[in-house]
Structure 1
Amino acid sequence: MTTNQKSQSILLAGASGVLGGHITRALTDAGHKVTGLGRGPANGVRADLMDRDALPRAVDGQRFDTVIHAATALRQAPMRHRDMYATDALRTDGTAHLVEAAQATGARRLISESMVFGYGYGDFGDHVITEDDVFGPRGSTPELERHVEGMRVKEQLTFEAAGLEGISLRFGLFYGPGGTDAILPMLRRRQLPVPADHGRLLPWIELTDAARAVAAAVEHGRAGQAYNITDRTPFGFRAHVLCVAEEFGLPRPMTVPRWLTRPMSYAHTMFATNMRVSSAKAERELGWTPVHPSCRDGLAALAARR
């Protein structure tokens, strides 16, 4: 296990997002100093990752030990493929610009948020995906290739950045404080129809558990390594939504045939995806374990706090 210095100075791109807020708290609790990077006024470094000229000026003269890329353009769950385009661009062009900025600040380490869908979209059957599986295979359609390419390029830029120890964290689907809240009004108004799972499973990760994994990677991650960050219990998408409804006392979602979701092209693809992912490497090397081993546990804890 690699152990890096405590009380690091960390630049966090995406600090104002839902995951970024949790990461900030986890790093601060671990004794690190966090500076946000983003366009909003709450950030210590005001800059747009997509502006290659302005970003170096924004960090000029500043020094950081570690830079974390957790920026996303998503403000709600993506329904159509085009909802992912801005985030795809952040993963390619935005990462390239952030690498240059990180190098300019003298940072030693770069940690990038990635997703398990970088292994591809589709039915993986009973195979349990580990970090030894191919990451970034060519997408089966032009739209899916656009998304997978974003994750593939982001990792390549992270691992190949000169002078930086690159680490990638491949997260499951997020839920939890600040994430699950968005679907509660939809369930309450019966506006969230979902298809049956038919045995399809997906990997999940509660947001505070995800943030703790980032903090663990800052201190214990090995350079050049990727880590899957998921809980221990894959859940079908409909099963997850049913669990939300049960825990919060809301109406069960209506079941619809999957073909009816075709206008929601990205969601339609997600509903057909079946994958089991192991986070054993992260548990072993980072000294991290999910507090919530399943989304049922995490949702029960979330509902109890409300």
Structure 2
Amino acid sequence: MKVLLAGASGVLGRSATRQLTAAGHEVSGLGRSATNTLRADLLDADAVLRAVDGLTFDVVVHAATALQGESMAGHRSMVATNALRTRGTENLLAAARATGARRLVVESMMFGYGYGDHGTGLITEENTPFGPRGTNAWLERHVGAMRTKERLAFTAEGLKAISLRFGFFYGAGVTDDDVLPQLRRRSLPAVADHGRALSWVDVDDAARAVVLAVESSTPGRAYNIADRTPLPFGRHLQEVAAAFGAPKPLRVPLWLLRPAPLAHTGMSSQLRLDTSRAERELGWSPTHDDSLTGVRALAAARPAAV
């Protein structure tokens, strides 16, 4: 199939492009980066249509974000990504219609269920509303953008849409290129978890879910994509440090992160995803049951990073 992939230069997009190509699909990346096949600012509707003019595609994948690792401390760092999830989605829908695409796969994430402590129960796609209205204006912007992205996808006429709701990414291109340098600079702290845990997913496993959604999935479905063992943020960081020989993350009280409100909110949240629908319907399963095992495997495969 011919696949138009917005966000092909990102960590998920790069892995998805490799795996889609290996599976025999023809992938065209769309975005501002020079590494893309088609160059356009996804927020410029006319530029997007010019980029795809005269082309045909079977599937459009929206995996574009503007997330920048350690800069993800304040709410304003999400503004560009929120725009990509709203106006960017509208522009990609226009591109899908113009190119004859019939399937749409969109990247989403667990925080679309709402920031905060959801307790120790597993969140399924059916038991927790996606994109709940928030009382905090900034959090409502973030969650609202994720809600809008799915709404636009699922209500798009003539398109069979699938949404993939990912846990926190780790793995090649994330753990080694983003998290590890921050740990070595002592700029990524950990807080006491008090029993809270979050869901994680290896980015290559996430990309494999993209491939499966492109090839065979139930239209109108959302799928949680994460490994089987939710873990505290701090525990994950400790394992990265241990596996790669980096300094242990600094332990700080949660209140100390208030000047970094997005980080404060994320580290005080608890979201444990149930992925049984993805395993049952997509035939997807994680390579590793937990991120600790995955981090150790990554470190073992990359001795030069130690």
TM-score range, shorter chain: over 0.9
**Which piece of structure 1 moves more, 295-304 or 181-190?**
181-190
Give the structure 1 partner of residue 38 of structure 2.
45
Corresponding position: 1:300 with 2:296? yes
Say whether the 8 Å CA contact 1:200–1:272 is kept in structure 2: yes
Q: Which residue of 1 aligns with 2:91?
A: 97
Candidates 229, 241, 246, aligned match of 1:245: 241
Aligned to 1:63: 56
Aligned residues: 299
1:113 aligns with 2:96: no
C-alpha contact (below 8 Å) 2:110/2:271 kept by paired residues: no
Question: Unpaired segments of 5 or more residues in structure 2?
Answer: none
Q: CA deviation at 1:193?
A: 2.0
CA contact (8 A) 1:119 1:136 kept: yes
Tell me, yes or no, if structure 1 residue 141 matches structure 2 residue 136.
yes
Structure 1 unpaired stretches of 5+: 1-7
What is the match of residue 286 of structure 1? 282
Report the identity percentage.
59
- In structure 2, the partner of 1:157 is 152
Following superposition, the deviation at residue 75 of structure 1 comes to 2.6
Superposition TM-score, scaled by structure 2 size? 0.96
Cα shift at 1:190: 2.5
8 Å CA contact 2:85–2:149 kept in 1: the answer is yes
TM-score (ref. length: structure 1): 0.96
8 Å CA contact retained: 2:62, 2:105: yes
Amino acid at match of 1:212: R
Q: State the alpha-carbon separation in 2 of the partners of residues 67 and 19 from structure 1.
A: 15
Distance in 1 (CA, whole Å) between partners of 2:231 and 2:120 is 14
Which runs of 4 or more aligned residues in structure 1 lie more than 4 Å from their structure 2 counterparts after TM superposition?
none
Give me the CA root mean square deviation. Answer: 0.9
The one of 174, 178, 182 equivalent to 2:173 is 178
Query: Aligned equivalents of 1:176 and 1:187: distance in 2?
Result: 15
Name the residue aligned to 1:3.
none
Deviation at 1:188, TM superposition (A): 2.0
Instruction: For residue 127 of structure 1, report the CA deviation from its aligned partner.
Output: 2.1
From 13, 22, 25, give the equivalent of 2:18.
25
Find the aligned partners of 2:236 and 2:134 in 1 and give their Cα distance.
26
Q: Deviations over 1:170-216 (max 9, x none)?
A: 00000110011212122223232221111110000000000001001
Paired residue type of 2:225? I
Deviation at 1:41, TM superposition (A): 2.1
